[in-house]
Amino acid sequence: MAQRQGEMAFIYGHGPSDEPFTADRFKGAVAYSQEGEKTDVAVEYKHGYAVLPKDSQLGLVTGIYDNGFWSEKADGEWVNESKPEVEGARQGGHYMKYSTTILSVDAKAGQVTGMPLEIVPQKNPLGLKPGDILPIQVFANGKPLAGVEVVAEFVTDREDNVVKTDREGKAEITIRNNGLNVIATEASEDLEDTSKADKLDKFATLSFTFPPDH
């Protein structure tokens, strides 16, 4: 999530560029109070984004986006179709995206929501500052995930400051930006039914934004 036109919105894109957001692929948001209690939230689709209502009591919010099937054609081009729809497909995957956004400096840290893949901060990052160390833990379906790479700043610096989780799924990253920060990780698994895709690819982000006067 990031601010767009003064509102917090779920964003789809790669790096600093926004891409078209397909509403029917967004599978919903779940919000949590500052104390960590699950609470109802309804997003509104406008300006090409899924916009979160303004609520000062929210601590964090999660969202799931199903990016569908992507397959590699015989010439190496990737298209947004399943393997049976692509003649001579070399390989294919089903791509899911999971986001966690910290909204309040008072939000409870260490909140595990049980998403298929998630990055959980062990401290509230909004209580820190750029240059500080943020301990995080990666979970898959509520269980710590070892040996996966975590990118400390996905939007502007995907190549540097990459760490790998330990046996408990833990790692430490250095907060980079005085503004929007997006931490990312990715994990995939082979599918038993390979009729439409060979693998399930899961991509998760943890985002937070320092206010201008931070």
pLDDT interval class at 10 (50, 70, 90): low
| Total residues found in the chain within this entry | 214
Q: Tens digit of pLDDT for each residue in 136-166? A: 999 999 999 999 999 998 887 666 789 999 9
- The residue-averaged pLDDT of 168-178 equals 95
C-beta neighbour count of 136 within 10 angstroms: 22
Tokens of 118: 């998630």
Residue 161: what pLDDT? 80
- The residue-averaged pLDDT of 40-61 equals 73
Residue 42: what pLDDT? 76
- The residue-averaged pLDDT of 51-59 equals 72
C-beta neighbour count of 13 within 10 angstroms: 12
pTM of the predicted protein model: 0.86
- Contact in structure between 148 and 138 (CB atoms under 8 Å): yes
- Measured CA to CA, the distance from residue 210 to residue 167 in angstroms comes to 31
DSSP state, residue 211? -
**Residue among 37, 53, 40, 36 nearest 1 (CA):** 53
Q: Tens digit of pLDDT for each residue in 185-208? A: 999 999 999 999 999 999 999 999
Q: List residues bridging with 102 in a β-sheet.
A: 60
Name the maximum alpha-carbon separation found in the chain: 55
Three-state DSSP state, 85 = helix
User: Of 53 and 88, which is predicted with more confidence?
Assistant: 88
Q: In whole angstroms, how large is the CA radius of gyration of the chain? A: 17
Three-state DSSP state, 126 = helix
